[in-house]
Amino acid sequence: MSDPESAPHVWNTEQLRRAVDAAGVALWSWNVDTDQLVMDALGYGLWGVPITTAVRFEDLSAHIHPADRDRVRAAFAATRGIVGPYEIDFRILVVDDVRWISARGQGDDAGMIGRIMVGVFLDVTGRKQAEEANELLAGEMSHRVKNLLTIASALTAITSRSTETATDMARELTDRLTALGRAHDLVRPIPGQEGKAALLGDLLSVLLAPYDDLGAFSGRIRVSVPRMGVGEGAATTLALVIHELATNSLKYGALSVAAGTLDVSCTAQDQDVVVVWTERGGPPVKPPEGSGFGSKMVVRGMSAQLGGSIAYDWPAHGVIATLRMLKDRLAT
């Protein structure tokens, strides 16, 4: 006599129904002659249509995303000639909501019973959104790496022409690349803003923090700017500009002496953002006789990337640099 506990379990209809509901599987059947579909309650809810005895495939087609409609119609027609299981993913529109549906079933007319094909619908919106997010991230990372390699190559060429020894070149190139690294560390999503961005105040403070430690007292560098976002491209350009200004100040200006101070302020004027770099307490300064490679790089970056300009004043107390840029460029 066999042991009841070792006998295989036979699922009853109610147990199967509960398992299907728990898995979020919507059941459907399609009469290939009358084009009528019958679904369970989950299926009607998934498509956002009233529960009726039957609906035609064309009725459901009206809910399919226009970009997917012809593809899905062709695929469903082709299922009659498919031998074995099939699966197709597509989008549907339910009011203002876009959902991803995976339709799965068994093809081949020869395997049908009473001219009826059966299958399931699955809501795969979460999976599709995750896949799209991963693709976007991969594309963004590829784009960022290519940009950084291009910038690093340009900086290497510029630095090689503006230095005389390998040691000087290594030091200046390392400083410039480090400034870029600090800027990119700050590029992150900001609530309420699209894309990736850094806060302008955070960007300036982090870039200038190493120079604040070189003076006889802390707080020699003061940053006062309104809250606004900076896009990835603008952050890269500003990092180079700020590094160039700070390097010149450390060599010749206010940051070259213990008592020197630096104030960085910002105002937004209609479509423009104006950042003012003001040095005080340093040695007497005068306009340079010519433009070095670093200065040319600053001018080029302000114009090409930020749609703006940089202007200098040379009062007795120290240099004043005015950076003017377009507000929409700053966010990109």
Three-class secondary structure assignment of 117-147: EEEEEEECHHHHHHHHHHHHHHHHHHHHHHH
Whether residue 294 sits in one domain with residue 149: yes
Dist. CA 144–CA 180, nearest whole Å: 12
Whether residue 158 sits in one domain with residue 26: no
User: Which of 130-144, 204-218, 261-275, 296-310 has the weakest average pLDDT?
Assistant: 204-218
Q: Count the helix, strand and coil residues of the chain and give each as a percent rounded to the nearest 5.
A: 45, 25, 25
CATH code of the domain containing 16:
3.30.450.20
Q: What is the DSSP string of 26-88?
A: EEEEEETTTTEEEE-HHHHHHHT----S-EEHHHHHTTB-HHHHHHHHHHHHHGGG--SEEEE
Whether residue 138 sits in one domain with residue 49: no
Dist. CA 119–CA 42, nearest whole Å: 13
Q: Does residue 3 surpass a pLDDT of 70?
A: no
The domain total for the chain is 2
In angstroms, how far is CA 101 from the centroid of its own chain? 26
In this prediction the pTM is 0.51
Q: Does residue 57 surpass a pLDDT of 70?
A: yes
Crossing angle, helix 125-162 and helix 293-304, to 10 degrees? 150
Q: How far is CA 279 from CA 91, 179, 249, in A?
A: 59, 20, 8
Amino acid at 45: G
The token pair at 203 is 């960007």
The residue with greater pLDDT, 81 or 44, is 44
Whether residue 138 sits in one domain with residue 205: yes
User: What pLDDT sits at residue 273?
Assistant: 93
Whether residue 319 sits in one domain with residue 204: yes
Dist. CA 17–CA 247, nearest whole Å: 72
Pairing verdict, β 261-269 and 320-326: unpaired
Query: With bands split at pLDDT 50, 70 and 90, how would you rate the model's confidence at 231?
Result: confident
Mean pLDDT of 26-48: 85
Whether residue 283 sits in one domain with residue 155: yes
Whether residue 264 sits in one domain with residue 313: yes
Query: With bands split at pLDDT 50, 70 and 90, how would you rate the model's confidence at 79?
Result: confident
The residue with greater pLDDT, 26 or 298, is 26
Give the largest CA-CA distance in the chain: 109
User: What pLDDT sits at residue 29?
Assistant: 83
Whether residue 320 sits in one domain with residue 204: yes
Whether residue 136 sits in one domain with residue 259: yes
Is 124:23 a contact under the CB 8 Å cutoff?
Answer: no
Domain end among 57, 92, 123: 123
Q: Does residue 216 surpass a pLDDT of 50?
A: no
Dist. CA 248–CA 121, nearest whole Å: 66
Q: What is the dihedral of CA 137, 143, 146, 152, to 10 degrees?
A: -90
Dist. CA 276–CA 265, nearest whole Å: 5
Residue 307's SS3 state is: coil
Q: Does residue 171 surpass a pLDDT of 50?
A: yes
Whether residue 153 sits in one domain with residue 29: no
Is 43:27 a contact under the CB 8 Å cutoff?
Answer: yes
Range with top average pLDDT, 183-197, 203-217, 226-240 = 226-240
Domain end among 107, 123, 139: 123
Residue 165 structural domain: 129-330
Average pLDDT of the chain is 80
Dist. CA 260–CA 124, nearest whole Å: 61
Whether residue 283 sits in one domain with residue 159: yes
pLDDT tens-digit series, residues 13-22: 777 777 777 7
Dist. CA 128–CA 134, nearest whole Å: 10
Domain end among 123, 141, 159: 123
Whether residue 258 sits in one domain with residue 140: yes
Rg (CA), the chain: 33
CATH code of the domain containing 143:
3.30.565.10
